[in-house]
Structure 1
Amino acid sequence: MYASAAQYNHPPTYPVTMICNAIDKAFFENDTLNKIYAGVVAFRGNATCKVNAPQNVSEIIQGWRWQTCSEMVIPIGIGNDSMFTVDPYNFESFANGCQKEFGVTPRPHWVTTYYGGHDITLVLQRFGSNIIFSNGLRDPYSIGGVLNNISDSIIAINTVNGSHCLDILSAKETDPEWLVQQRKKETEIMKGWITQYYADLAALNETWTLFSP
């Protein structure tokens, strides 16, 4: 519940705020279990049973699991400096899980070897172009994002109230104005790239025409 609420903490409900408000207003103020229950009810509704029901795994979720096993190994663990139970990252255990589910052995260094991620700014300055790094700063993953422009065509767009992938989700009538403007800005940037591409292509074709026999 925490991971889902924190990662997708987007309007109009802002689930983290909703859960925290419920915890703060719990009937028995000093009862930790009651506070937890109040947060769960605020997020999932006041059902009679809180046991997680079986879920149909979507292609997106299954695809992400495959990608983290085959290409993007993300070594996330929980240390002693967290409110959660200590759960250090264990590559051997992770690899065994990937073998069991997909029959593949993770390559933990493949993505940084192939794309060069040890110094992303240096790497992208040398070969990258036409990239927008969109960061919703409410998303915990944003701490590892590219938060500053790298070049004129490698651009970081940060939104204080944004969350994980919010700008690429379907537009809704309840979308706040800042989100509408963010999508508009990103669209205008991409239109500019496309316009420039066709202008460059036309100029190249004209050059070939002038010098062709």
Structure 2
Amino acid sequence: MATSAIPLTLVLILCFFFFFSFTQSTPQLLGKYANKPRNLSSSSYKYETRYFTQRLDHFSFHEYGSFSQRYLINTRNWVAKGPIFMYCGNEGDIEWFATNSGFLWELAPRFGAMLLFPEHRYYGESMPYGSKEEAYKNNTTLAFLTAEQAIADYAVLLKELKHNLSAEGCPVVLFGGSYGGMLAAWMRLKYPHLTIGAVASSAPILQFEDIVPPETFYNIVSNDFRRESTTCFNKIKESWGALQSMGENADGLMQLAKTFHICGELKSSDDLSDWLSSAYSYLAMVNYPYPSDFLMPLPGHPIKEVCKRIDSAADGTSVLDRIFHGVSVYYNYTGAVDCFKMDDDPHGMSGWQWQACTEMVMPMTSDPDKSMFPSFKFNYTYEQERCMRSYGVKPRGRWITTEFGGRDFKTTWKNSGSNIIFANGLLDPWSGGSVLQNVSETLIALNTEEGAHHLDLRASTANDPEWLIQQRTSEIRLIEVWINDYNQGRGSALSM
């Protein structure tokens, strides 16, 4: 769930990381004090951890070796001929995503379903070459980190598991949020013979080339803040110039580090700009109506709390002090942090930087008329040079749409795809790159005005608003139809 491409996703994973130097990067770093994956075996989520030997390269008959893929499995509620609900692991430790996908755990007893959470290659414990150090060593060892290979992993694992469990006749429904939602949708389109449907939540599968306007992401983030407070929006917009001016002073970086409680030396004001930009984008992604700890421990409606702190500062408070108090809602809501490190990756998401430099190229810009962020344009030449410096590779900006489609999707997917739910909360900046209108009777868009990043996949709570309950109810209704149609050997569509 990451600028030339994203998460966020989740941001998602997203992130589906912003460069103040007027190039862009997608929000990625979650910060040192983001929650670590919980030990689900000691919680209400019980599972068995297993490992499966995968080919390193599914698309060559040359033997490049193999690696051990981790997956989590729960069969407690599984009944004879019951469905398999598989979450397509995205760019991080699979336990983290299993922890934050309570919707699946709630569905399992209702449907008599097996739950399966395979981990994405090159993330968590699923490391080729024996270790992360070796796997991330150079562009040769990283060459097999692609969405295509990951989906093939899921397909091979699924077929083998169904065979071993005598479950060949059990229908499979895919789930995923952010990048995982993209994988779920792409797998349904690519391997329709293996699955009967997919729930793709907050999946920005159209955020490539020029399919959606490149300013969409930052405009949505900005609008989320402006809807809470125009003053807050304007203070954030004003802060970039103040930050840059201070950074140019003789002791400016030292003063900035002091103001924002940065651990150690601040190397450039650009690093601080990235840190602030990431916080605003993540706040928009997880602007949930109740307290959560998906990325950081946060209150309900966290953007409202950020703007409250920015706006309520005493007269005479500098704009940068206001910004620090506001952004502390994201980085330090519990008050337990004395200083901030700016380069931590607690969920093991650093592989996304490689993916953004190869095939996950998501052009973004900031519109000075509508955005609270500094104005910048996506610079493909700069991205090529950056990726060459970092990895010795050039991004392939048109590969994803070549491999999975996206251009003219209303025609092509209508003819070739079926049974996908594209679920989006319109407060989520990634929603702008997703499918927001029904493509056909079976390719359904479910939108909520107040929803944020794959909120529908999270566990239900006593504080769930009615619109969220209705969104999940619609998803359940569609899944029931898919399973009933499969069991009855027919393919009728549900009219929504």
TM class by shorter chain equals: 0.7 to 0.9
TM-score (norm 1): 0.79
The DSSP-based 3-state class of the residue aligned with 1:188 is: helix
1:22 aligned partner:
309
The DSSP-based 3-state class of the residue aligned with 1:27 is: coil
Question: Counterparts in 2 of 1:1-213, with a 5 A limit?
Answer: 1-12=279-290, 13-28=300-315, 31-43=318-330, 44-45=332-333, 46=335, 49-59=338-348, 61-81=349-369, 82-101=371-390, 104-200=393-489
- CA offsets 1:58-116 (integer angstroms, 9 cap, x no match): 24x33543433333210113344333223322223323444455554321001222233
Figure out how many residues of one structure are paired with residues of the other and give that number. Answer: 200
CA distance in 1, matches of 2:323, 2:470: 37
Note if contact 1:131-1:154 (Cα within 8 Å) is conserved in structure 2. yes
CA distance in 1, matches of 2:353, 2:359: 10
Note if contact 1:29-1:35 (Cα within 8 Å) is conserved in structure 2. no
The 3 A distance-change label for structure 1 pair 73 and 40 is same
Note if contact 2:456-2:468 (Cα within 8 Å) is conserved in structure 1. yes
CA distance in 1, matches of 2:480, 2:356: 32
The DSSP-based 3-state class of the residue aligned with 1:175 is: coil
CA distance in 1, matches of 2:484, 2:393: 42
> More deviation in 87-96 or 39-48?
39-48
The 3 A distance-change label for structure 1 pair 18 and 102 is same
The 3 A distance-change label for structure 1 pair 118 and 21 is same
Q: Equivalent pairs: percent with the same residue? A: 38
The 3 A distance-change label for structure 1 pair 168 and 48 is closer
Deviation, structure 1 residue 193: 0.9
The DSSP-based 3-state class of the residue aligned with 1:70 is: coil
> More deviation in 74-83 or 137-146?
74-83
The 3 A distance-change label for structure 1 pair 62 and 30 is closer
Gaps of 5+ in 1: 202-213
Note if contact 2:281-2:429 (Cα within 8 Å) is conserved in structure 1. no
Deviation, structure 1 residue 29: 6.5
User: More strand per residue: 1 or 2?
Assistant: 2
The 3 A distance-change label for structure 1 pair 185 and 52 is same
Deviation, structure 1 residue 48: 7.0
CA distance in 2, matches of 1:29, 1:198: 68
CA distance in 2, matches of 1:184, 1:108: 37
The 3 A distance-change label for structure 1 pair 17 and 184 is same
Deviation, structure 1 residue 5: 0.5
The 3 A distance-change label for structure 1 pair 103 and 171 is farther
Gaps of 5+ in 2: 1-278, 291-299, 491-496
Deviation, structure 1 residue 50: 4.8
Note if contact 2:288-2:455 (Cα within 8 Å) is conserved in structure 1. yes
CA distance in 1, matches of 2:484, 2:317: 61
Superposition misfits of 4+ residues, deviation over 6 angstroms? none
